[in-house]
Amino acid sequence: MQKNTLKQKTDNFLSKKLDWPFIQQEMKNKFGAEIYESWIKKIEFVNEFHDYILISVSTRFIRDWITSRYLDQILQLVKSKKKNINRIEFVIRNSETEEENDIKKYDSRANENVSFIKDSYLHIIELIPIKLLIILY
């Protein structure tokens, strides 16, 4: 009988997940509406593990900004509700890296600004075979 009671208590303890909407509201109260809307609202709860939670943001920049300015305070709020949480880990939601996004942005801008010069000297040199080019010089 005592084993069943103990098992029920531990099952309830283990199944009780972090109330992320409550934590979000606490963060909004703590940081203020402006900071919350600009930075904290972008955090999405992914999963809870034994001693840490996994959250996601859309870019590395947002992760770095939150980590450097707000992470300690967020961890304190989380620990106030779940004592066993010791750390917070991030995942970047965006499947493409920031570098790939930058390249795509650069490529699209570059194509808009490219102008072609027909029949120019440079254009003609590209057509001359290298052996012939060496002979000419």
Question: pLDDT tens for residues 84-98?
Answer: 999 999 999 865 555
CATH number of the domain encompassing residue 105: 3.30.300.180
The answer to the question of residue 52 being in a domain is yes
Nearest-Å Rg of the Cα atoms of the chain is 28
The answer to the question of residue 74 being in a domain is yes
The answer to the question of residue 7 being in a domain is no
Which pLDDT value is given to residue 115? Answer: 45
List of E strands, 21-121: 44-48, 52-57, 87-92
Strand 87-92 and strand 52-57: the pairing is parallel
The answer to the question of residue 1 being in a domain is no
CA distance 41 to 130: 60
The answer to the question of residue 103 being in a domain is yes
Q: Bigger pLDDT: 102 or 61?
A: 61
Whole-structure pTM value: 0.58
Range of the domain at 91: 18-136
Which pLDDT value is given to residue 71? Answer: 95
**What is the average pLDDT value for the chain, to the nearest integer?**
76
The answer to the question of residue 3 being in a domain is no
**Tally of domains in the chain:** 1
The position carrying tokens 């840490």 is 52
Residues 34-40 have a mean pLDDT of 95
User: Taking the mean position of all CA atoms in its chain, how far away is CA 1?
Assistant: 49
